[in-house]
Every structure is written in structure tokens, then in C-alpha cells.
Structure 1
């Protein structure tokens, strides 16, 4: 009796296709009713359940089959654990076998667990050997590109080879590889290249003949969500809004993508006066299962947006409490973007979104509780700068970095020389006009990271450029070592080549003589420069702010109008005019002076002339017994004051006349 079902199962397996999984499951169940220990039927049932996306049922079927079936179906069991989100159980299983299929599952498990470096290594090993599976090469290219994009999103872009950063011709032939290449460009900040590649991926997907309209729509919607994000980041809000109108969030097939689409739609929408409505829309997003969770960099952005909406809804105490709890669980100090942003949100909740001196007054006490909170320190530094107190901001950051430098923990030193913090300190020095500490700080940071496997090319470039301004041979040698280190990672980096040439040009020219041909010729650089036009244009000047231009323009216009405007003739009342006033007669400029002080004054009579001679205004005062020397040596004249006055006068009689 049992031979007929088994024969039927064998014939079904030979003619099986992806469309008859239900029939396979029914046949396997029919066999198991009569023969419970038929491992072929048990194995077939597990595979059919996996193809029907019934992963939990597949795990139960594996448990019912016992240890012997579990040993036979290691690949199926690992895959089922991976699909239900049990990543640790799947990781243990993939280490037991050496099958190529298990390597694929191991890479998927590492990818989902956000161990992207391990996933990239597995895919690289798989790509090095050719497998028997048809289409495996294309799948490996797609998954490898996705892993590289995730490394870029996590800030580990230096672990991606330079040859994989630039999309190849094969990447542009399928919409999946074009989409992953676009995500890599977006993560690196190359939004324009990402925009072009996304359009390419969308066009390729819509041109596929083997997909139905419904399947194409399901594939195109995530691409459109990413396009809207790129347009918003580029500031092209009209294009982003047009795409948002074309996207029906309810039609997005994957719940994680649906949540992201709704979040981006809220972020790109104009500011609303009702934050509680925004909160309600944000909370209406679907709840994700364990197997559908977002990646950490996506989940952190969603949590930060949740706190931002709460701040707009004036839930200050709640934000301050929850962010403080999250910060307490994280190691300190840390340069994690998520933890740093939590420090900013905690400060905003504590200060009730007040800024300036009022906000500083409420935030500064937090520094005593969390002296190593990088996010909090950066908030205080920013508020000091906004209140025109850069010296206090510089002192605060210097104290924090000095404390980390004195620590014996290596992780503290990584935070001390973090490129972002170094950039903030250098900006503060430039704001204060302090050039000497800039070179010293960049040199220390560059020397530290050169000893590490993970270095910052931007930091090395800035430090090398700063050292090139020095005329000291030792500084130039250190700059040359930094640019040489950059060239070891990318031999075709023209900036690093130019830095090497500039470093050794004055001290060891033969060392870089062969590199001169790799640089652009000076004649080519200045071919489009018109020296005569530059000379005629004169010395350039900094542009004046629009407000000052407007005020100067108004002042100039008003002064010109005043010049053009004739002086106002002041009319004098007739009652105030003198009787002999003549309109055309010129007024005497000395008319306001006393009569005796005017230049036309001439005393009359003997007494008047004597009185004028005795006047001392503008003349020499003759004191008693003073000798005046006459010009020409005519001797001296003794001038004495007469005693008494009016001795020759006759005395009048007393009494009435």
C-alpha cells in the first residue's frame, strides 16, 4: 500500500516546479500517514514548507522528525532559523557543515546580524570559486554590492575596496545591482551619482518582460522611496514632492520599507502647526516582527525622530527621562552618532528647547553629572559660540580632550583623536585667530591614526596640508609621510601625489621627480586665465552682506538727494526785520559782535582814542615796573602806574546843589 504513494512522490519530485509546492506538500503528507519514518517524505515536506514561506511550520516539522532528520536537513534548518529571526541558532548550524549552500546562509545570517565585514569576506570567498548553481554569479554580485553599501552606511567605507566603490559595467545591466550601487554612492555622500543610478535601476525594472505589472510595481516602489529621499537631501523639494504623490505607502510590500517611506514623507512635508497630528501619523506605522526589524542605523534615526516629535509636542520631561536612561546604558565616552544625538535631545528636553544664555543656565548642571557625554559637550560648545563666547567654548573642549588624553584606556584615546572633535577644535581656533595650535593639533591626531589600522584620509589630508605651510624641514618630512600613507591606499589619488611633490620639492626633489608627469601641467591649468583682465579688474574684495549693501545704497541715495535738493529759504517775519532792511543787501557778518569789537570801529575824540589805546584785548598787558624793549635798540622806556586817579579833578561840595 505504501509503495504506490512513494512512487507517486518520486514521479512528482522529478516533474516538480516552483508552482506545485502545495501538491508536493500534500503528497508528502499522504506518504507520512502510512509511513511516519520515511525520511524522503519528511525532507520533502520541510522543503515544501520553506518554499511556501511557512518557516515556523518547517521548524516544527524538523523537530518532529528527530535528530536524524535534523542532521540530514542542516541547510534547511539553518535557513528556517534565519527567516524567523533566530540568528544565533542559525549561526551555530552553519558552522557545522562545509556545503556551499551553508556558506550562502552564513553570509545572509552575518548580513542580518549587521556583521557586514564577515558577510563581505564570505561573499569574497564564494566569488573566488565557481559554483554549480545557475545564476549564482549574479546573486553573489547583488549581495556583495548590498554588503558594501551597508558598510558605507555604518561608516566603515574604508573596508570596501577601491575597485568596488566605482560601479562596473556589469552593475549597470540589472536593476538590483544598479540599485545597490546607488545605495553605496548615497551612503558615501555622492548624491548626484546615486540619483543617476536610481533612475537607471528604475528604468531597467520597468523594462523587464518576465515580470508582471504587479511584480514590477512592487520592485519599483522601494526605488521611488529612495529617489524621494535623495531629492530631499539635494534640496530638490519639488521633485521629491512629485514622487511622494506617486507613492502609495499602503502598496509598499515590505513593512520595513513602508515605515521608512512614511517617516520620509513626514520629514519632507511642510512644517505643520499641529505636532499632535504628526505624532498620530507617525504612530500609525505598522509594527515589525523580529525578523523584519530595521538595521541599527535606520532604527536609530526613527527613534530620534520619535523624540523630536515629542519635543514639538512639549513632552520635555518624558524626552529628558528616556534619553537619560538610554545614555546611561551606553559606554562613555563614545562617538556613536546615535548616543551623541541622544545627548543633544536630552539637553533640549532639559532646557525645554530654549537656547542662548537661558538654555546654557539649565544645561550646564548636566555637565557635572555627565562630564564625558560628547553630545552634551558639543551642545554647550555651540551655545557658547552663539552667545559670542568662543573662548569659553574652546576652553571646555580643550579640558575634555586633555582629560581623555590622560586616560589609560585605548577607546578613550580613539575618542580624543576622533576626526569630528578635532575638526570642531580647529574651527574654534580659526574663529579665535589662533594658527599655531591648529598645526600642533592636526599633527598629533594624524600621528595617532597613522599607528592604527583604521585611519581617516580626510584627517591625514588636512594635517598634511597644514604642515606644508611650514618652512621647517621636519614638518615637511612628516607631511610627506602622511601623503605617502594616503598614496599607499589609493595610488591614483592626485591630491596625495600633489602633496608628496609639495613636501619633497624643496628638500628631496629626486625622490618625487618621477611623479611630476602625473600632475596637470601648469600651462594647462592657466590656459583659460586672462592675466590682463585680472590686472584690469584690480584687487578682489570680500562680498558685502546684502543687508549692508541695502543700507549703504539707501545712505548713498539719501545723500545724493540732499545734494540735489536746494537749501530751504527760511522766511523771517516782517515784525522781526529792521526798519532799514533791504532784501538784496548783503548782511554784515560782524553784526552780532559788540560795536567796539568790530573791525570797522574807530573811536572818536581824545578820550576815545586814549581809551582804545588802553584796551588790552589782543595786546600786551603792561604791568607796573615793566620795561619794554623797542625794536632797533632805542633804549628802554620805564612805564609806571600813576598813584591815585583824578588828582586834578576838583572836589565837589557836599550837600545838595
Structure 2
């Protein structure tokens, strides 16, 4: 058997070239007809099939080879599983069975496609740290590492991840420049992202390592990203110019093609007919296997699809499809995928009506799905839009009270989710309810201090709020919060300042060394003109902030503007009207209620004034007069038939 394997391999090597993998497969098939269990030939055939991108066939050959071939070629097996979209199996196999840098690359790539971006970034960082083994991998590792960090920003998981500043080497390759641009866009730095995208496109055009057709394939995704940024910035003319250079049919990746088609339909010159819009949106088929959209991309595309369905009045279909997914959610969740469907479900039930009617449609849904976070936030938003902040607070407080009764840790994490807590706090602040703000922040901070994954921004807000309290227990909690933040990040000056402030009145000697690390007050106030501040006076403040539509801030006496005078027709004015004369402000009151009214003098006038006095002494005479002048009450007649007249004969 060994001699046959060696002879077969020598024949294969003689008949093969660098790119002639089809001939290798044919030779392997001929050899396997003579010996079906030849592991060497099966291994060579597997590699050739992978080179030809025939991943399903490669998996079939490995499975037919049995455990012997699987143990011999775990790297090839893991790579084939990764390429057909079996990501969990590929990650497990690459992490356990396969060894070497190749297996680490496959695990990192599979983790990237499985949206385990933290794990992917960790593997690439470890591979980059092995300087002796880098050789030709350095460029690919830098590109993939930057891509994983950009995805962490897109998914909002970048907190706690250390990211190096871009080097000159990163800005000299169009791939890494493009990844840096994606990271900037994900962080909301759209202008910076637009500059980096332009640089990436120019670097790609001037690259000497790419063929002309390869340049076109690489520039198209960059142009699609530029179109997205231009639309976000509201630069419609620039977006239309970019759209002219994007040919959707030339995009090979289905995921990129679908994104491009969706963004092109947002241009002002897109079809205004919703039915034509619906047809064009669904022209691109859905991507599969390793070319799938990421969840945050698929969420937007799915929301756009439902929105277009609503435009063509497919209300029942959207309601049923979203209800089917939402009915499977038994517990509250902060998943954007689920909560976006809740908003669309409300829109489908409302059927394109006014916000007031939408609220009436949404409230019965809340009775059926009381733990639906997306539905709760939709109702809160509708109340705020209508200017009814108190009702919005009541809805959110009732939802929190429902979650307070749950004992599950996952439910408690939803209850104290920083986003939900910040919404309630902002509503409290609009009504000036400072005590409620402090109480809510204290409860949220107490919860997250016991969790391994904390929210630094929420803890900072809670600590700063508790410092304004006069209660010693609140000051103690603030001290614990800032101490925890300092342990996590010793360079956090905000946490250091809060820690010093929490001990300033009780134990100043304990924080003397920390206070010396802070910037002196004299340096902070050196540029302030005290005299100018005193001359400017004290600005007026208000507890009401006009942040919500329909709400108006209460003005002070000096803050009022004179109302605009209304123009009145001359036909409505009296004959003796004098425009220079100020009219009597009490002219609309009854005569006796005006300040200028004086009761008539004399005996009758005094008597009337006494009768009108509330709480005064009532005379018997006036009481008798009121009794005699009262209208008689009709009562039923009683008694005998003598009072009745006899009816005449024959009269009925």
C-alpha cells in the first residue's frame, strides 16, 4: 500500500502545474479507483478541491476517508467547514484538533464570520505578537486585525478593548486604510471616515500589485461605503455623483450588492412609486453561507424591507410576520433585532394613521406583551411626542416594577440596562425630579457593581449624582463607586476626582495623595474673569428643559415677550374707539365684580349688601321673605272622591 501511495503521488506531481488543480483531481480519481483507502491520494484530492473552491466536495471526500483522513487533515477540514458556513464546527475543530498558525488563522476567520469579534481580535493580536513567526503574514494580520476592531465598533462592543493608534504603515495600504475608515464611521466620526475612504480609493487606484479588473472589484465596496457616508451627512449631490459610478451588477459579493441596492434607493432620484421601489429592493437575492450579512447589517436591511412592505400597504403581512417572531420571546430582551420588530409591529397595527390613534392601537398590545422592551419604548416615545411626559414616566415605571419582581439575573440586567435607565432619568430631569434621578442611579449602580461586565458611564453618572446628597450613606456608595472605577482604570481622572470629593469632608487626610495628582484649582480658574462674571449677573435657571416636542419651558417675569398685537377689522370696532386709549382690562367682568364697582347708597342698598354677605348673621325677616317668595312645590292631591267631579253619562 505504501509503495502504491508513493507511486501515485509521483505521478500526480509529474502531471501537475501550479494552477492545474483540475488535472490533479482527475489523477486522484483514477488512483482511487485502484485503491479507495489511499489516504495520501485522498489528502491531495482534498487540497486540490479546496484550491478549486469546491468546499462541499472536499467535505464529502474527508467524510468518506473516515477518522484516519480527519486526523491527518484537520486544518483542511476546518477550513472547508468555515467556507460552507458551518462556523461553530469549524471553530471547535480549529481550536481543539488542529495545531499551528494555520489553525489559528482559520479559527480567527471563523470567529469573525460568527460575529465573535472579541475572540477574533484576541487571536490576531496573539499572532501579531509572535514577531519571529510573522514572515509574510504581517500585512494580512494587520488587515484582519483592523477589520475585527472595526466590527467591534459597529456592534458597540469596543469598550475595554485597547486599540493602537494608526501607524504610517496602516495609512499606506488601501486595505488597512479602509478598515480604519469603517472604524471611524462606526464611532460616528463621519467626516474622518469620508477622508479615509477617499484615501483608500486613491491608494487602490495607484496600486501596482492589482490587475485592472481587481482594482474595479476592490473599489466598488469602497464606493458603496462612501455612498452611505454621503447619505448620512445629507450630501445628496455628492451621493448622486457616487451612485453614477456604482454598477450593482458588477458587484460579485451578494451581501455588498444587497447593501448597495438598498442605499441607492435612498437617493432623491429614486422611484417615488412605492410598488416600483418594492420591486427594485427585492431584485437582489439573499446571500448565503460565508457571504451572509452581519446581524447589524441584516437588521437594517430587514427593517427597510418591512418599511417598504408598509408603504405598499401590506399591513397584515408585516403584523403576522413580526408577531410570529415576537411570540417566541418569553422574556424581556435588549436585542436590537427583536425590539426593531416591535416598532414595526406597532406601525403595522396602526396602518398609517396619526400618532394619537397609533397610541390607542399600541396600548392593547402592551397588555398582551407587557415585557416587550421595544413596545414599551415605542409607547414612551408616542407619549413624549404628544407632550405627555408624565404618562411616559408612568409606563416606564410600571415596566420597571414588573421586572423588579423577577428573580432572573438576565431580567435584572434588562431592568438596569444603561440605555433604559438613561431614558427614565432624562424624563425625570424634564420634570425636575432630582430625588428620583438620584434614587434610580443609586439602584442601578448597586446592581452593576455586583456584575463582572459593568457600565463605566452609568457608574460615573451615579457617583456624581450621589455626591450632591447630604445623606452619609449616599456619600459612602459614591465612594465605593469611584474606588471601583479607579481599580478598573487608574488613569481615569474623573474617578479620582470623585473619590477625592467623596472623602473631602469626612477624611481629607486619606485622599491627600490623590488630590495632589489632580490639576490645581488655581490653574483651572486662571483664565476666568471674575469681574466680568459679577457684572454679567446670575443667569436665570429653570427645572424644565424644552427637549421634548410639545413641551414649553416656564418663563420668568423678566423673560416674557410682549404678545404680538392682532389686527382687528374696523367693522368690529365701536364707533367711539380710540386706539391710543388703553381699554379697561375688567371690561369683560360683570359690573358688580369690577374693582371700580360701588354698591348703591341708601336703605335698600345696605340691605342688599347685607344679604349678599357670606357668613354673616341671617335675620328672621330675610329668612321669612325668602320662604314666602319661594315657588310652591306641587304635591299630589289626596283623599276623597268628593273632590272629584262625576263624569256625565256616556262620557269617557
TM-score (normalised: structure 1): 0.75
Change (3 A) 1:355 1:544: closer
Structure 1 residues 619, 541: CA separation in 2 closer, same or farther (over 3 Å shift)?
closer
Does 1:51 pair with 2:51? Answer: yes
Rounded to whole Å, the distance in 1 between the matches of 2:169 and 2:484 is: 32
Deviation at 1:155, TM superposition (A): 3.0
1:212: Cα distance to partner? 1.5
SS in 1 for 2:266: helix
Tell me the SS of whatever aligns to 1:267: coil
Query: Does the CA contact (< 8 Å) of 2:277 and 2:308 recur in 1?
Result: yes
Distance in structure 1 (CA, Å) of the matches to 2:148 and 2:537: 54
- What residue number does 1:75 align with? 75
For 2:130 and 2:235, locate their aligned partners in 1 and report how far apart those are by CA, in whole Å: 45
Partner SS, residue 265 of structure 2: helix
Using the alignment, how far apart are the partners of 1:224 and 1:494 within structure 2? 41
- Per-residue deviation, residues 240-298 of structure 1 (Å, max 9, x unmatched): 34333332222223111111121122235468642212111110113322332212222
> 1:491-539 CA deviation, whole Å, 9 max, x = no partner?
3334333433443344444444444565455555555555555556566
Pairwise CA distance, 1:169: 5.0
Q: Distance in 2 between matches of 1:124 and 1:435?
A: 46
**Distance in 2 of aligned mates of 1:221 and 1:43:** 37
The offset of 1:346, in angstroms, is 1.0
TM-align CA RMSD: 3.7
Structure 1 residue 204 and structure 2 residue 203: aligned?
yes
1:608-623 paired onto structure 2 within 5 Å? none
Q: Does residue 373 in structure 1 map to residue 376 in structure 2? A: no
Q: What is residue 102 of structure 1 aligned with on the other side?
A: 103
User: Higher relative contact order at CA 8 Å, sep ≥6: structure 1 or structure 2?
Assistant: 2
Structure 1 gaps of 5+ residues are 560-567, 571-617, 622-657
The corresponding residue for 2:143 is: 142
Look up the match of 2:117: 116
Query: 1:225 aligns to what?
Result: 224
SS of aligned partner of 2:293: coil
Instruction: State the SS of the aligned residue for 2:334.
Output: coil
Question: What TM-score does the superposition give when structure 2 sets the normalisation length?
Answer: 0.76
Aligned residues: 558
Q: Deviations over 1:320-372 (max 9, x none)?
A: 11111110122421111121121111111112133433222222111111111
Partners in 2 of 1:465 and 1:238 — Cα distance? Answer: 46
Please report how far the alpha carbon of residue 405 of structure 1 lies from its aligned counterpart in structure 2 after TM superposition: 0.8
TM-fit CA distance, 1:168: 4.7
Label 1:6 to 1:463 Cα distance change in 2 as closer, same or farther (>3 A): closer
1:316-335 matches, within 5 Å, as: 316-335=315-334
Offset at 1:399? 1.5
Measure the CA separation in 2 of the matches of 1:322 and 1:57: 36
> Is 1:93 aligned with 2:96?
no
Tell me the residue number matched to 2:631. none
1:127-526 superposed matches below 5 A: 127-129=128-130, 132=133, 134-158=135-159, 160-162=160-162, 164=163, 166-168=165-167, 170-269=169-268, 273-516=272-515, 518-520=517-519, 522=521, 525-526=524-525
How big is the shift at 1:451? 1.0
Q: C-alpha offsets along residues 65-120 of structure 1, whole Å, 9 cap, x if unaligned?
A: 45433332222122112111233443453332334322322222222222334434
1:9 aligns with 2:12: yes
Change (3 A) 1:38 1:166: same
Higher Rg of the two aligned structures = 1
- Secondary structure (helix, strand or coil) at the match of 2:313 reads coil
C-alpha distance in 1 between matches for 2:9 and 2:426: 77
Give the direction of change, closer, same or farther, for the CA distance of 1:192–1:555 in structure 2 (3 Å limit).
same
- Per-residue deviation at 1:468? 2.6
How many angstroms does 1:391 deviate by?
A: 1.9
- In the TM superposition, residue 319 of structure 1 has moved relative to its aligned partner by 1.4
User: More displaced, 238-247 or 277-286?
Assistant: 238-247
CA distance in 2, matches of 1:514, 1:12: 77
Are the equivalent residues in 2 in contact too, given 1:5–1:30 (CA < 8 A)? no
For structure 2, which runs of at least 5 residues remain unmatched after alignment?
A: 553-559, 569-574, 578-599, 604-652
Write out per-residue CA displacement over residues 389-439 of structure 1, whole angstroms, 9 at most, x where no aligned residue: 322221221111011112111111111111111112112212222111100
1:450-496 superposed Cα distances (whole Å, 9 cap, x missing partner): 11111112211221221232344443333233233333333333433
Q: SS in structure 1 opposite 2:135?
A: coil
